[in-house]
Amino acid sequence: VDFKFAALVTEVVEDLQRTTEKHRLINEFNYEGTVHADRERIAQVITNLITNAIKYSPQPGDILIRSALHDNEVHLCVEDFGVGIAEEKQEHVFEQFYRVSGNKQHTFPGLGLGLYISSEIVKREGGRIWVNSVENKGSTFCFALPVQQSR
């Protein structure tokens, strides 16, 4: 089903902003078009990325959510300024039950499933998902979904 991408992102962001007082979720969308995908599952992916950004940013801070069109894809990125992920661990974070261990003074509860499920959903919709991160600086998780240009 086709749905308005920006409206979905805004819905998820507004829901999750209610769950945190110390983070400010900033939603910048530069794509006003539609996406052809399972709306509820894409909502789940966006939720997983933003809840991770909140969870792994123990200090108060902004979380930036950006969407934009790149060629025939819409990209959605969630950037945080939290604990980050060491370079050699980044390739593993989409694996089932993988969790980065030894995170200094903080421990974060979880199963290690959110990113695995997210990557399965995105792949099933014909897209891809990736991360850029610097340990102790922050992380940017992005996914891309194909969009029809003939509209």
Q: Which residues bind Mg ion (CB under 5 A)?
A: 52, 114
Per CB under 6 A, the list member of 36, 39, 41, 99 interacting with ligand ATP is 99
7: partner contacted, choices Mg ion, ligand ATP, none (Cβ within 5-8 A by kind)? none
Residue 113 lies near ligand ATP (rule: CB under 6 A): yes
SS3 state at 125? coil
Residue with tokens 């996914």: 143
**DSSP-assigned letters across all residues of 76-105:** EEEEE-SS---HHHHTTTTSTT------TT
Pairing label, strands 23-30, 34-36:
unpaired
Whichever of 6 and 57 has its CB closer to Mg ion, that residue is: 57
119: partner contacted, choices Mg ion, ligand ATP, none (Cβ within 5-8 A by kind)? none
56: partner contacted, choices ligand ATP, Mg ion, none (Cβ within 5-8 A by kind)? ligand ATP
Tell me how far apart the alpha carbons of residues 52 and 45 are, in angstroms, rounded to a whole number: 11
Pairing label, strands 128-134, 138-146:
antiparallel
Residue ranges binding ligand ATP (CB under 6 A): 48, 52-53, 56, 80, 82-85, 93, 98-100, 110-116, 139
